Homo-oligomer: A and B are copies of this chain.
Amino acid sequence: MTRKIGIIGMGNVGAACAHYIVAGGFVDELVLIDQNLKKVQADALDFEDAMANLPYHTNIYVNDYHQLDDADVVISSVGHIKLLGGDHPNRFAELKPTGDDVKVVANELKQTKFNGTLVVISNPNDVMTSLYQELTGLPKERVIGTGTLLDGARMKRAVGKAFHVDPRSVEGYNLGEHGNSQFTAWSTVKVLDQPVADLAAKQGLDLEQINEDVRMGGFTVFNGKGYTNYGVSTAAVRLAMAVINDAHEELPISNYRAEYGTYLSYPAIIGRQGVEQQITLNLPQDELDKLQASADYIKKNLN
């Protein structure tokens, strides 16, 4: 009866999500929530100051959890990216403070009638997604993380550049933890309709270098501006729209995989119920090992 998204956490990432949603006219109602009332009011007013010059109208609500009662999707973008840094940045630096925030947010959410899908951007992503699911009690399929949807986009960008091809024409996945243990599942990556490993071998390209570029992509952006926001917010909004459209689109995201006993990034079919269907990839042993290692790392940190 209306498209409604809530965004919790109006830092650089949440604000970029909101900007994309308002500019695209994707929803009818947008709920913005942040601990910093002046900041979230400023963003809301700034969006409203854009509306006379936009084609569509979006009704915006500020810091009212009860507006989430009938939201289709809530996006959690709470985080403490400023804590990252140094030579070996690690998303787990955010674990404690973001975890504290997530507890507060989950508790607030539980007191609403929210019954849609929760899309988690907060990092470390798999841990925070897991935490949200436990604390809210929402079904596992309706609590999902953007996970390696972003890493995969970075891989497609890097592979696309190497072969002069649009990122959308590269297929394949990054799997596991959205963090230092994620990896490109090269067995799944194809470009120009060839396994990229074959093509790279022919052309003397080093996949490990591309892999490193993918893994460090976020930190390159982070070091240049102190945060990353456009890539991840675009991924999050695409995921949210797949839910709202009930698209049954396949996307690699953080979802609970029973065989690993944890949330981790793995492709799934996304629709109005969140994860509509799970998928089994035919991975070679070395990639299965990497995935197991990544799963173990997530579980260790969750505890």
Contact = CB atoms under 8 A, between A and B. Distances in A.
9 contacts: A42-B223, A43-B221, A49-B154, A51-B153, A53-B238, A59-B246, A165-B269, A188-B193, A192-B277
A153 B52 contact: yes
Interface of A: 1-4, 16, 19-20, 22-25, 28-29, 38-39, 41-43, 45-59, 70, 72, 116, 149-150, 152-154, 156-157, 160, 164-171, 188, 192-194, 217, 220-225, 228-235, 238, 241-242, 244-250, 267, 269, 272, 276-277, 279-282
Contacts of A2: 1, 3, 72, 244, 246, 272
A224 B45 contact: yes
A133 to B, nearest CB: 21
B165 A248 contact: yes
Contact of A39 (B51, B224, B282): B224
A79 B70 CA distance: 37
Nearest to A150: B49
A28 B245 contact: yes
A103 B91 CA distance: 42
A221 to B, nearest CB: 5
B55 A19 contact: no
A167 B51 contact: yes
Nearest to A220: B45
A38 B223 contact: yes
A252 B115 CA distance: 38
Contact of A43 (B48, B55, B225, B280): B225
B224 A19 contact: no
B249 A166 contact: yes
